[in-house]
């Protein structure tokens, strides 16, 4: 009888494991379909995330504008109301006092009144950037549990761990996070990074490397930039440039400041990385089943959306001020020319073609990854366009993305460190471009 009972318990366990495994596969397939598979709807080919974004923007634009205004208002006033003198330094107090100005700025950005200080392209850029950042982040946060809470992370980690650990000092699960950066956008990718770090599933060093080195512009933006620069063989070009960027990241993650980041988690926990020599898929699922929490999907979706709500409320006033003031300085002052005087000698030393345009791309890219297209003369050579495209992909640091977002997270990386990483990536990239240009193209 004891043998029969043991056998029945074993069968029950196998049935339970089979049902959970089936659920994991279904949810993971749904997540992959929502985030990464482009489908054609009404003549437009995009992922489900972007189809939802365009639908919401088209049908509910006025409600979204009201939502942005409310979030900016609450986000700029709430820190002042909750102010505690001992918790902030003088600089933080100044920032808090400046934040309410963002309420006026958001009204100007979405008003139909023309302003001499801002041309139509600037206003259009600011509107599109704010709308896209907020809507896409909200949508992706809602569906993120499909790829983070049902075993897909463990599966990716078991298959990619031995490659990413040696190459980029990252766990294998980071490959899935990188795909979110590429197929969705920077803010959604950083949201996933900060959530994994906050839950004790990413190390400090990994989180810092992800938000600084792998916060690529999305593939959708890559195609737009390539089209604007009249590049040929776009898919192959994007693949090659991303491969080059991975080579740059290989070097950057081994030097200061990323080299000194701790390999510890935010808090002590029992989480262990998946590293299996055989039966990777089966062992990854078993690892997930042994560590998973018995919360329902709707709970994870609600918690993620609530977290994205808090992040949007925190960063939106700062983001509005940065892009509003930044656009004014770009359009009405000689700021770019002044910064260009610092970077131009480097371009001149390397003797690259279209020096002025490349220099502008470097300076404007630090403000926002794709903003410089409007300011660069279209009459440039193919090789110059390719160099500018490379810079736009490799240069993953900008004031209006990483530097704004990290201040709302627990990720321990300073803005000055992000700036240093950005400079390192530019110098390494330009050196590689110089070598390719003169050793290969220069000899043709």
pLDDT at 10 over 50: no
Closest CA to 429 of 358, 372, 376: 358
Q: Which residues contact 17 (CB under 8 A, 6 or more apart)?
A: 286, 289
pLDDT at 88 over 70: no
More confident residue, 107 or 332: 107
Residue ranges of E strands in 193-347: none
Average pLDDT of 114-120? 73
Cα gap 164→169, rounded to integer Å: 6
Q: What is the pLDDT of residue 79?
A: 84
Does residue 87 fall inside a structural domain?
no
Q: What is the pLDDT of residue 71?
A: 96
Average pLDDT of 112-132? 83
Highest mean pLDDT among 65-79, 119-133, 214-228, 390-404: 65-79
Strand partners, 118: 115
Cα gap 384→371, rounded to integer Å: 17
Cα gap 413→421, rounded to integer Å: 11
Q: Which residues contact 287 (CB under 8 A, 6 or more apart)?
A: 154, 158, 272, 274
How large a percentage of the chain has pLDDT more than 90?
54
pLDDT at 95 over 90: no
Average pLDDT of 359-386? 72
Least confident span in 243-247, 254-258, 357-361, 412-416: 357-361
373 is in which domain, residue-wise?
14-82+117-442
Task: Judge contact between 194 and 207, C-beta under 8 A.
Answer: yes
Does residue 96 fall inside a structural domain?
no
Q: What is the pLDDT of residue 314?
A: 94
Q: What is the pLDDT of residue 87?
A: 55
* DSSP result, 252-281: HTTSTTGGGS----SS---------SS-HH
Q: What is the pLDDT of residue 370?
A: 61
Q: What is the pLDDT of residue 374?
A: 62
Least confident span in 246-250, 278-282, 404-408: 278-282
pLDDT at 259 over 80: yes
Closest CA to 132 of 62, 69, 214, 56: 56
Which ranges in 45-173 belong to alpha helices (H)?
48-59, 61-81, 90-98, 101-110, 120-143, 145-148, 152-168
Does residue 27 fall inside a structural domain?
yes
Task: Judge contact between 108 and 115, C-beta under 8 A.
Answer: yes
Does residue 9 fall inside a structural domain?
no
Does residue 128 fall inside a structural domain?
yes
Q: What is the pLDDT of residue 261?
A: 95
Q: What is the pLDDT of residue 194?
A: 97
More confident residue, 15 or 287: 287
Does residue 138 fall inside a structural domain?
yes
What average pLDDT is seen over the chain? 86
Cα 130 to Cα 2, 31, 406: the distances in Å are: 66, 25, 17
Cα gap 394→272, rounded to integer Å: 32
The four Cα atoms 132, 134, 138, 141 give a dihedral, to 10 degrees, of: 90
pLDDT at 323 over 50: yes
Q: What is the pLDDT of residue 198?
A: 95
Q: What is the pLDDT of residue 8?
A: 44
Confidence of residue 309 (pLDDT cuts 50, 70, 90): very high
Report the predicted TM-score, pTM, of the whole model to 2 decimal places: 0.92
Confidence of residue 85 (pLDDT cuts 50, 70, 90): low
Domain tally, the chain: 1
Q: Which residues contact 390 (CB under 8 A, 6 or more apart)?
A: 241, 244, 429, 433
Does residue 239 fall inside a structural domain?
yes
* DSSP result, 175-210: HHHHHHHHHT-HHHHHHHHHHHHHTT-S-HHHHHHH
Does residue 28 fall inside a structural domain?
yes
Q: What is the pLDDT of residue 7?
A: 46
């Amino acid at each position: 009888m004891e043998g029969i009972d043991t056998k029945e318990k074993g069968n029950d366990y196998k049935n339970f494991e089979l049902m959970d495994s089936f659920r994991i596969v279904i949810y993971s397939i749904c997540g992959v379909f929502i985030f990464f598979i482009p489908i054609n709807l009404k003549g437009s080919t995009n992922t489900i995330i972007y189809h939802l974004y365009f639908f919401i923007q088209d049908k509910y634009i006025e409600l979204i504008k009201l939502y942005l205004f409310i979030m900016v208002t609450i986000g700029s006033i709430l820190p002042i109301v909750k102010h505690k003198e001992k918790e902030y330094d003088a600089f933080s107090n100044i920032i808090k006092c400046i934040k309410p100005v963002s309420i006026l700025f958001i009204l100007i950005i979405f008003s139909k009144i023309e302003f001499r200080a801002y041309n139509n392209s600037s206003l259009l850029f600011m509107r599109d950037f704010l709308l896209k950042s907020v809507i896409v982040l909200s949508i992706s946060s809602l569906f993120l549990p499909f790829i983070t809470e049902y075993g897909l992370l463990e599966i990716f980690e078991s298959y990619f761990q031995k490659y990413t650990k040696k190459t980029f000092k990252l766990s294998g699960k980071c490959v899935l996070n990188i795909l979110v950066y590429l197929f969705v956008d920077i803010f959604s990718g950083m949201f996933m990074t900060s959530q994994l770090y906050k839950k004790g599933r990413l190390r400090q060093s990994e989180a810092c490397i992800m938000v600084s080195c792998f916060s690529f512009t999305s593939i959708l933006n890559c195609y737009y930039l390539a089209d604007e620069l009249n590049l040929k063989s776009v898919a192959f070009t994007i693949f090659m440039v991303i491969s080059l960027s991975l080579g740059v990241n290989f070097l950057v993650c081994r030097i200061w400041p990323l080299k000194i980041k701790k390999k510890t988690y935010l808090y002590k926990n029992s989480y262990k990385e998946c590293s299996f020599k055989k039966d990777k898929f089966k062992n990854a699922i078993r690892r997930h089943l042994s560590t998973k929490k018995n919360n329902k999907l709707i709970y994870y979706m609600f918690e993620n959306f609530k977290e994205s709500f808090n992040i949007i409320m925190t960063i939106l006033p700062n983001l509005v001020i940065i892009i509003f003031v930044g656009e004014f300085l770009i359009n009405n002052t000689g700021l770019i020319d002044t910064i260009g005087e610092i970077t131009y000698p480097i371009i001149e030393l390397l003797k690259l073609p279209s020096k002025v345009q490349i220099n502008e791309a470097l300076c404007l890219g630090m403000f926002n990854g794709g903003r410089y297209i409007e300011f660069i003369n279209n009459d440039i050579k193919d090789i110059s366009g390719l160099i500018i495209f490379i810079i736009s992909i490799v240069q993953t640091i900008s004031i209006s993305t990483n530097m704004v977002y990290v201040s709302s997270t627990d990720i321990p990386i300073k803005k000055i460190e992000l700036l240093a990483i950005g400079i390192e990536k530019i110098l390494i990239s330009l050196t590689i471009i110089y070598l390719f240009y003169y050793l290969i193209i220069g000899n043709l």
